[in-house]
Amino acid sequence: MKKIGLFNYSIHPKTFWFIGGLLVLYIISFYVDAVFYIAVGLTLTFFLLFLWDSLRLFAKGSVDVERSMTKVLSLGDSNRIVLKVHNRMQRPIQFRIIDELPFQLQERDFGIVGSIPGNEVFVADYHITPKERGNYDFGNTHVFVRSPWGLAERRWTSNTSFVVRVYPSIIQMKKYQLMSIEKLQRFHGVVKTRRVGHNYEFDQIKNYVEGDDYRSINWKATSRANELMVNQYTDEQAQPVYCLIDKSRQMNLPFNGMTLLDYAINASLVISNVTLQKKDRIGLVSFGQTIDSMMKASTNPRQLSNILEALYAEKPNEYDANYPLLYKVMNSLATNRSLLFLFTNIESKHHMNRILPQLLRLHKRHLLVVIFFRNDEMEEYAGEQAVDTLDIYKRTAAGKMVTDKQVLISSLRQHGIHCMLSRPSELTIDTLNKYLELKSRGMI
Q: What digits encode the pLDDT tens for the residues 135-153?
A: 999 999 999 999 888 888 9
Q: What percent of the chain has pLDDT over 70?
A: 91
Going by pLDDT thresholds of 50, 70 and 90, the confidence category of residue 101 is: very high
| The pLDDT value given to residue 218 | 86
| The pLDDT value given to residue 44 | 93
Q: What are the b/e assignments for 303-335, b being 16+ CB within 10 Å?
A: bbeebbebbbebebbeeebbbeebbebbeebbe
Q: Read off the pLDDT of each residue in 40-59 and give the average, rounded to a whole number.
A: 89
Q: At what angle do helices 349-365 and 323-333 cross, to 10 degrees?
A: 10
Q: Read off the pLDDT of each residue in 409-429 and give the average, rounded to a whole number.
A: 92
Q: Read off the pLDDT of each residue in 326-354 and give the average, rounded to a whole number.
A: 91
CB atoms under 10 Å from CB of 403, counted, come to: 11
Is-contact 232 216, C-beta < 8 A? Answer: yes
155 bridge partner residues: 8, 144
Cα–chain-centroid distance for residue 362?
A: 29
| The pLDDT value given to residue 186 | 47
Q: Please determine, for residue 395, whether its predicted confidence score (pLDDT) is greater than 50.
A: yes
- Greater confidence (50 vs 1) lies with 50
Is-contact 345 253, C-beta < 8 A? Answer: yes
List, in order, residues 6 or more apart from 347 with CB less than 8 Å away: 250, 401, 404, 405
Q: Read off the pLDDT of each residue in 213-222 and give the average, rounded to a whole number.
A: 82
| The pLDDT value given to residue 7 | 56
**Residue pLDDT, tens place only, 252-299:** 988 888 999 999 999 999 999 999 988 899 999 999 999 999 999 999
- Greater confidence (225 vs 165) lies with 165
Going by pLDDT thresholds of 50, 70 and 90, the confidence category of residue 5 is: very low
Mean pLDDT of the chain: 86
Amino acid symbol at 419: C
Q: Read off the pLDDT of each residue in 320-337 and give the average, rounded to a whole number.
A: 92
Q: Read off the pLDDT of each residue in 229-247 and give the average, rounded to a whole number.
A: 81
| The pLDDT value given to residue 83 | 94
Q: Please determine, for residue 391, whether its predicted confidence score (pLDDT) is greater than 70.
A: yes
Q: Please determine, for residue 2, whether its predicted confidence score (pLDDT) is greater than 60.
A: no
Going by pLDDT thresholds of 50, 70 and 90, the confidence category of residue 191 is: very low
| The pLDDT value given to residue 280 | 92
Going by pLDDT thresholds of 50, 70 and 90, the confidence category of residue 179 is: low
Q: Please determine, for residue 111, whether its predicted confidence score (pLDDT) is greater than 50.
A: yes
Q: Read off the pLDDT of each residue in 109-117 and give the average, rounded to a whole number.
A: 88
Q: Please determine, for residue 369, whether its predicted confidence score (pLDDT) is greater than 90.
A: yes
Q: What percent of the chain has pLDDT over 90?
A: 47
Going by pLDDT thresholds of 50, 70 and 90, the confidence category of residue 183 is: low
Going by pLDDT thresholds of 50, 70 and 90, the confidence category of residue 223 is: confident
Q: Read off the pLDDT of each residue in 344-366 and give the average, rounded to a whole number.
A: 90
Q: Read off the pLDDT of each residue in 376-389 and give the average, rounded to a whole number.
A: 78
